[in-house]
């Protein structure tokens, strides 16, 4: 299976993406216009992190080294570790979402099913 291109978002598009989501129970989904949502259903990066396969974020600790250990890989640097994590998940059909234009990397790996359900352009 060939890896697909990353989904890239601007910081404003990322914020709008998060604002357009809600979490109810253990399910993350898109908000629908005109529907009521409780304050505790708001999604921020921390909430999204519970649904991501892996992440590299300035806002949320994605436990890079723990994730690398989980996939039974080793690396000499954080960049090498992230590259191996990305390759591992993309080979399994996941998608990479990158927020461009920030001082630090903001990269999220989501399952294809979740990305589709959340309205991301999976292809």
Which tens digit of pLDDT belongs to each residue from 77-110? Answer: 999 999 999 999 999 999 999 999 999 999 999 9
Q: What angle do CA 7, 68, 114 make, to 5 degrees?
A: 35
The Cα–Cα gap between 14 and 44 comes to 10
What pLDDT does residue 3 have?
A: 65
Specify the residue for token string 């920030």. Answer: 102
């Amino acid at each position: 299976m060939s890896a697909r291109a990353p989904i890239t978002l601007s910081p404003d598009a990322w914020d709008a993406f998060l604002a357009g989501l809600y979490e109810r129970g253990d399910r993350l989904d898109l908000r629908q216009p005109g529907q009521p949502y409780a304050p505790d259903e708001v999604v921020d990066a921390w909430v999204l992190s519970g649904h991501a396969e892996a992440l590299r974020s300035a806002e949320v600790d994605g436990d890079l080294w723990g994730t690398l250990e989980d996939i039974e890989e080793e690396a000499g640097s954080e960049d090498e570790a992230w590259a191996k994590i990305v390759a591992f998940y993309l080979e399994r059909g996941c998608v990479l979402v990158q927020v461009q234009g920030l001082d630090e990397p903001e990269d999220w790996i989501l399952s294809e099913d979740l990305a589709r359900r959340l309205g991301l352009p999976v292809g």
